[in-house]
Structure 1
Amino acid sequence: MALGTVTVDNLNLGQGAVTEVERYFLFIGPAGKNVGQFIALNTDSDLDATLGAPASDLKTQITAARLNGGQRWACVAAPIGSEGDWASALEKAQQQGYSVEGAVITKPVTTAAELTAMNDAAVAINNKYGRRLFILAATPGVTAQQTWSQYVTEQKALVGNLAAPRVSPVAQLHGNDLGVVAGRLANASVSIADSPMRVATGPVLGLGPVPIDADKVPLPSAVRSELDRARISVSQTYPDYPGVYWGDGNMLDAPGSDFQVIEYLRITDKAARQIRPLLIRRVADRRLNNTPNSMAVNTSQLMAPLRAMAKSVKFNGEVFPGDIEPPKDGDLVLEWLSKTKVVAYFKLRPLNCPKDLQANIALDLSTDKTE
């Protein structure tokens, strides 16, 4: 004999959204107020009240970032003392649960060891907390005692032999270049797959005065080109085209590597952030097994973040592409190494993006007339 029993359970299938950290940056640098604190800022924030009324490097860069970041710009600021202990502030931010896409270190670096330490810190954060981030690092601008030749030599020596693929050095030629490009990267009106070079995004805003060297020569385009070749990010102009724009978001990756520009790193990190919670939910879940049905179902579910990243929008006859190309069959492979260990291999395809355009114009001097 038995009594009737009815139980209704809610099944959590893990179909919700993952909190996005893209375009949300942590600014670390010297300031006159709230040292040792973490300050949430947006477009409405009073920077004098939060960072101190006197001018500071941190406030200068955040002001430029806010101007270039668009209507939805927001960040976290970590004021530090004049000694510039960015590493402690970065680690403390992780301990307090601040998950960001990138850290912006405003105090200019003077040695290659500092850039290496920044890359090591970014890697350590991923190892320890499972959080992926890149670091925008300021390099010094030209001094009143330097010629442009001396300045370029100094900058090339600073980064020349480094392999630091999670660090993007930015030359502080105009005094606020770092904040300008940080805001440009955080602007929600464009995709994270877009290069800061994108002219259609518009010119940079609020860039400081044009620097001059010891010989009173204004910043030449050749200097920008040399710094870009050295993997330092700089602004750029186009002759007879109004406005100042930006060059590539260069990373200190090795030649021939996949992540020499920041947009490739950003889309890969975004995919990793979306995929990681899906894998965590599958720990010791026997619904993921090596049967054909399970492999097909889980392959489809794990590909969902890539399909979402690839979504495009068509408006007024024009297609606005997603972050990546639509995934194809075979872009995810699940490989069982043992009864309890499975490895997933994902493939992402960035869309083509023209950065070097050339036109060839020919005259047609024939006298043939069309009937």
Structure 2
Amino acid sequence: MAIGSVTIVKVDGMQGNFNEVERVFLYLGKIADPDRAAEIIPIAGNSDLDQLLGPGESELKTQIAAARQNSRNDRFACYAVGVPEDQDWKEVLYAALDKPADLNIEAVVLCTPLESKLEIQACMSAASEVLARFSKFITVIGCVTGIDKAKETWGAYITRVSALVDGVDGERVCIVPQLHGNDLGCVAGRLCDPAVSIADSPMRVATGALIGLGVADADVEPVDSAGAPLTMTTIEALAGKRFSVAQWYAGYDGVYWADMATLAPENSDYNVYENLRVVDYCARRVRSLAIGRIADRRLNSTNQSISANETYFMRPLREASQSTVLNEVELPAMIQPPEAGDVTISWNSRTEVSIAVSVRPYNCPKKITVYMGLDLSNA
């Protein structure tokens, strides 16, 4: 006679939360306390920078202080590592991302100015190396020195720094001229403001003006060797060379930011950082979902399975497209809601599958032209 039995089998639907790495940056540079060089130092909104990074001024402290102010929130969080004098920053980066530290970050901020084209090309090489070795999508945000007001005119400065990026192809590299001494930290913090989406450009004026632009021992406004001040003409010239720079609007209070340009070539989809950020956001999450489907026969070549798994892999797109309504005004999400066909699955063989994902950002006005005329019909 048969014996009745009940067996419970646990099934993992891979519906848990994803790790949130967006808005977490790793700062690398010179540190005031040499005893803490190469140590990974977590920093929060209420951290004492003198205690953690050493008393006195340092590259790390200057840029992180500016970043913390411009993030405009008490949940600011980052990591800092002082690069030893005899060590390459890239090796420090790899050590921080490898086990046992295994940091999850969105970007690395290089506080030591880059001085040659080879050094800037090495930034893209490092980002590619990180993706190959650790399967982590990161961007390198570097800087170049500001003007030498004792020797350079603005024209000579533009020529000098433009030569550093001329011909460089690096979609995962952004370069900031240190015109005020802490420009790098200001924009890095602006990119971590939780009040706005990662799909927003730091150009967004409604985010607010920059806070604390300029360092204590520098002039209020940069000038060249002839005493000429920094103007929007120089700003526009630098932006045209793919630098990311602060800007202002005539007759409008405050200093803001221009595009966060990358060193991607002309016509690239990724010549502004916000496009790269939303794609990386989705890529991190789709990769996690794909790992969960390895050798899982729930993903097979039947029509029913393909349809179910297209919905499964669409999850990051659905989450990124959740908008918010404030006072009956919709605040757009990172991307537009996914539609049928935004995720497609194709079988290349019995054991190899290809998944295509389309991410559709919203349009965003960066140049506004207003046409105005008279209506004299009732005159």
Task: Report the TM range for the smaller structure's normalisation.
Answer: over 0.9
Q: What is the distance in 2 between the residues matched to 1:120 and 1:157?
A: 19
Secondary structure at the aligned position of 2:188 is classed as helix
Deviations 1:309-357 (A, max 9, x none): 0111112110011100111111111010000100000101110000000
Secondary structure at the aligned position of 1:200 is classed as helix
* Contact 1:30/1:84 (<8 A) preserved: no
Which residue is equivalent to 2:241? 230
Q: What is the distance in 2 between the residues matched to 1:260 and 1:90?
A: 24
Q: What is the distance in 1 between the residues matched to 2:113 and 2:293?
A: 44
What's the CA shift for 1:39? Answer: 0.4
1:357 aligns with 2:368: yes
Secondary structure at the aligned position of 1:59 is classed as helix
User: CA 1:242–1:83 in structure 2 vs 1: closer, same or farther (change >3 Å)?
Assistant: farther
Deviations 1:180-209 (A, max 9, x none): 000000111110000000000000101003
What's the CA shift for 1:6? Answer: 2.4
Which residue is equivalent to 2:97? 94
**1:69-80 alignment to 2 at 5 Å?**
69-71=71-73, 72-80=75-83
- Structure 2 residue ranges without an equivalent (≥5): 215-219
Match of 2:37 among 35, 38, 53: 35
Question: What TM-score, normalized by structure 1, do the two folds share?
Answer: 0.97
What's the CA shift for 1:83? Answer: 5.3
1:52 aligns with 2:57: no
Query: In the alignment, residue 42 of structure 1 is paired with which amino acid?
Result: A
* Contact 1:84/1:107 (<8 A) preserved: no
Deviations 1:16-37 (A, max 9, x none): 1111100000000000221010
Q: What is the distance in 2 between the residues matched to 1:25 and 1:326?
A: 28
1:12 aligns with 2:12: yes
Q: What is the distance in 2 between the residues matched to 1:65 and 1:175?
A: 13
Q: What is the distance in 2 between the residues matched to 1:322 and 1:47?
A: 34
Q: What is the distance in 2 between the residues matched to 1:210 and 1:124?
A: 39
Q: What is the distance in 2 between the residues matched to 1:293 and 1:80?
A: 53
1:217 aligns with 2:220: no
Which residue is equivalent to 2:301? 290
Q: What is the distance in 1 between the residues matched to 2:85 and 2:131?
A: 28
Secondary structure at the aligned position of 1:186 is classed as coil
User: CA 1:160–1:324 in structure 2 vs 1: closer, same or farther (change >3 Å)?
Assistant: same
Q: What is the distance in 1 between the residues matched to 2:152 and 2:137?
A: 38
Q: What is the distance in 1 between the residues matched to 2:46 and 2:85?
A: 27
Figure out how many residues of one structure are paired with residues of the other and give that number: 368
What's the CA shift for 1:3? Answer: 3.3
1:3 aligns with 2:3: yes
Q: What is the distance in 2 between the residues matched to 1:91 and 1:173?
A: 29
What's the CA shift for 1:89? Answer: 1.1
What's the CA shift for 1:84? Answer: 6.6
**1:1-371 alignment to 2 at 5 Å?**
1-33=1-33, 34-71=36-73, 72-82=75-85, 85-95=88-98, 96-144=101-149, 145-208=151-214, 209-366=220-377, 368=378
- Which stretch shows the higher mean deviation, 69-78 or 187-196? 69-78
Query: In the alignment, residue 163 of structure 1 is paired with which amino acid?
Result: D
Deviations 1:271-305 (A, max 9, x none): 00111111001001111011111111111111011
User: CA 1:122–1:176 in structure 2 vs 1: closer, same or farther (change >3 Å)?
Assistant: same
Q: What is the distance in 2 between the residues matched to 1:41 and 1:3?
A: 61
Deviations 1:134-176 (A, max 9, x none): 0100111001211101000011111111101100000100000
Q: What is the distance in 2 between the residues matched to 1:146 and 1:334?
A: 57
Q: What is the distance in 1 between the residues matched to 2:344 and 2:376?
A: 57
Question: What TM-score, normalized by structure 2, do the two folds share?
Answer: 0.95
User: CA 1:211–1:82 in structure 2 vs 1: closer, same or farther (change >3 Å)?
Assistant: farther
Q: What is the distance in 1 between the residues matched to 2:319 and 2:284?
A: 13
Deviations 1:96-149 (A, max 9, x none): 200100000000001011111111111111111110000100111001211101
Query: In the alignment, residue 23 of structure 1 is paired with which amino acid?
Result: R
Where do 4+ consecutive residues of structure 1 move more than 6 Å? none
The CA RMSD over aligned residues, in Å, is 1.1
Q: What is the distance in 2 between the residues matched to 1:55 and 1:180?
A: 17
Deviations 1:216-246 (A, max 9, x none): 1111111100000000000000000000000
Percentage of matched positions with identical amino acids: 41
Which residue is equivalent to 2:217? none
- Structure 1 residue ranges without an equivalent (≥5): none
Secondary structure at the aligned position of 2:27 is classed as strand
- Which stretch shows the higher mean deviation, 8-17 or 323-332? 8-17
User: CA 1:84–1:150 in structure 2 vs 1: closer, same or farther (change >3 Å)?
Assistant: farther
